[in-house]
Amino acid sequence: MSHSPSASKGSVTREHILDRAYEMARRDGIEGLSLGSLAQGVGMSKSGVFAHFGSREDLQLAVLDVGRRRFSAQVFAPAMDKPRGLERLRFIVAAWFDWVRAAEGGCVLLTAVSEFDGRPGVLHEAVVSQQLEWRATLCKSIALAVDTGELRPDVDPGQFAFETYALVLGVHHDSGLFGYAQSASHAERAFNRLVDIYRSP
Amino acid sequence: MSHSPSASKGSVTREHILDRAYEMARRDGIEGLSLGSLAQGVGMSKSGVFAHFGSREDLQLAVLDVGRRRFSAQVFAPAMDKPRGLERLRFIVAAWFDWVRAAEGGCVLLTAVSEFDGRPGVLHEAVVSQQLEWRATLCKSIALAVDTGELRPDVDPGQFAFETYALVLGVHHDSGLFGYAQSASHAERAFNRLVDIYRSP
């Protein structure tokens, strides 16, 4: 594919606007985004920002997708270099805890769940589809550790994934109140016990 | 104590305003509260609402306290009729899951944690103190089940409470996306396993 200079300049500008929008959404949620304050934040006119996104909803969807791509790049993609099985699963969970630590002050993806889980619409669909995708990926990583023989065949990946997700939510919830170190230590202990329970003899 | 008719009328009005404010906070968070839209919601003048709360911050603190009182009345108080030990602990956890089901569309207390955990100030202090109080109560209920001999003496109540709290967060997170029944069933299964692990032989 070849890009004309103006198309690629437009795409750089779009990424710059999205970076700023993502930072704003970390603080105020995706529902807190407005084209007006975003335009002010990037020093452009409102119509200039509008030219890159057809509507506020398109902007919100794009910000959600930035979150998905960053999460995937930081938590999932590096794990693909690890051998499938328990090592990869442990790597994913550790990288996920790191994501929570870095997201201190606001995780766009988790905030989006509280914002849109009860509000039917395009954003609700996008959030549900994103969460389903991540849960399926997590289930698959668990199932691979069964395939390698490291976890017992009677593991229920959906149950295991729910419990792992719950621990991450516990870290997210507690770390802002009582500090990351204590919360992550509780969660690691619980995750290690979960693995030990289902580890093949 | 005797109340003059006007004082008790004032207190009824205050409770009425708080009920409305609590409903608004369920949807928009405590940061979403404004004296203006609240006045409109209860059909009073802004200065009429202002007369009951010295400031927006006082209103926010009062709404947080409504949440604390309702949570305590629905989750903790009824458990006090149960014998101390595992029966009471199980009752608390079941009532807590019910609270999450009823809070579908927004739990003021959980939203308050995301709103204020990273923002120093009076509301942050109030949220931390509320969460510390509830965690201490939960730890005590766990410790009582050790005292009755039902749980083993090597239970770490802080760890057990963290894991229980994480399961509740898992239900809260998943139920809006995938339905309450499936989420609660995962959480109950995990909680029962946790109890079984630490149950005295």
pLDDT tens profile B118-152: 889 999 999 999 999 999 999 999 999 999 999 99
What pLDDT does residue A2 have?
47
The residue in chain B having the minimum alpha-carbon distance to the alpha carbon of residue A166 is: B170
Q: Is B187 on the interface with A (CB under 8 A)?
A: yes
CB contact under 8 A, B131 and A186: no
Per-residue pLDDT tens for A82-91?
Answer: 999 999 999 9
Residue keyed to tokens 């709103």:
B115
Q: What is the pLDDT of residue B6?
A: 67
Instruction: Say whether B111 and A114 touch across the interface (CB within 8 A).
Output: yes
- The answer to whether the beta carbons of residues B161 and B138 sit under 8 Å apart is yes
* Mean pLDDT on B98-114: 87
Return the closest-CA partner of residue A176 out of B127, B118, B161, B144: B118
Instruction: Indicate the length of chain A as a whole number.
Output: 201
Residue contact B166–A162, C-beta within 8 A: no
% of chain A at pLDDT higher than 70: 96
**Is B201 exposed, middle or buried (CB count within 10 Å of its CB: 0-12, 13-18, 19+)?**
exposed
> Do A176 and B106 make contact, defined as CB atoms within 8 angstroms?
no
pLDDT at residue A56, as a whole number: 92
Is the model's pLDDT at B2 over the cut of 50? no
pLDDT digits (tens, 9 = 90+) for A186-201: 999 999 999 999 999 8
| Lowest-pLDDT range of A124-133, B11-20, B83-92, B151-160 | B11-20
Residue A105: pLDDT band with limits 50, 70, 90 = low
The SS3 assignment for B150 reads coil
Average of per-residue pLDDT across A152-161: 97
Handedness of CA B156, A97, A161, A114 (dihedral sign): positive
SS3 A57: helix
| Count of residues in chain B | 201
What's the average model confidence in pLDDT over B96-108? 88
Q: How far is CA A30 from the centre of its chain?
A: 14
Instruction: Nearest by CB to A190, from B118, B127, B163: name it.
Output: B163
- pLDDT for position B1: 45
User: Angle B179-B183-B187 (CA atoms, 0-180°, nearest 5)?
Assistant: 165
With a cut of 80, say whether residue A59 has pLDDT above it. yes
B51–chain A nearest CA distance, Å: 30
With bands split at pLDDT 50, 70 and 90, how would you rate the model's confidence at A11?
confident
A186–B167 CB contact, under 8 Å: no
- At B5, the pLDDT band (50, 70, 90 cuts) reads low
Look at residue B68 and tell me whether its pLDDT is greater than 60: yes
ipTM for the complex? 0.92
Q: How much is the pLDDT for B147?
A: 97
Task: Look at residue B17 in the predicted model and tell me its pLDDT.
Answer: 94
Side-chain half-sphere exposure of A132, counting CA atoms within 13 A = 11
Across chain B, mean pLDDT equals: 92
For residues A142-150, give the mean pLDDT. Answer: 98
User: pLDDT band at B184, cuts 50/70/90?
Assistant: very high
The dihedrals phi and psi of B107, each to the nearest 5 degrees, come to -105, 115
